[in-house]
Amino acid sequence: MAHKFNPSDHPHRRYNPLKGDWVLVCPHRAKRPWKGQLEPAIEQTTPRFDINNPLCPTAHRPNGIVNPDYSGTFVFDNDFPALLDDVPVPDKEDNDELFQTSPAEGNCKVMCFHPHSDLTLALMSRVEVRAVIDKWAELQEELGKMYTWVQIFENRGAVMGCSNPHPHCQIWSSSYLPNEAEVKDKKLKEYYLKHDKNMLLDYAERELKKQVIRIGI
């Protein structure tokens, strides 16, 4: 048996205060030899403008709408939304606890960051990135007044399900809290009621003081 625990070498569990559960960590596994499949790097050139790309300025989208000749950010309702604003309420399954359903209403938007398809946020100027962030904040505030949850996210790459190389993100607003957010919201409230402090701020402060190796940027 090892004489002293080393978090870089020994398997252990770490408590996740945001969810109230434990996560298994096996750092020693990273030292094993790797002979599995290696994916070759795919070099792909994306044209700056493609009239057949439905996210480009002045292009036709699948529903027939023509995009404006935008020069900055551009936001529109998703043509194929996962959530809808007006849907029928599901029928109750005779109050059967094993077959429960509940309403799921919402709105899905798409936001283009830039008119050029060959750019990403990392390649845009600071002024252009600031414009994107300002628009995120504006939409978060606007949609947050109408919906319980607003989530802004970006899928990158075909493996992640991104179907278009144009720089853009999704903005989903829903009438309910997603499972992960609901659990974390509960834990954050419990911590605040107990300590009268914000858990995430406390966590960051203690992590910096401990100089632990778990800090990542």
Q: Which residues are catalytic?
A: 168
Sequence-distant (≥ 6) Cβ neighbours of residue 206 within 8 angstroms: none
Residue 163 tokens read as 């179907």
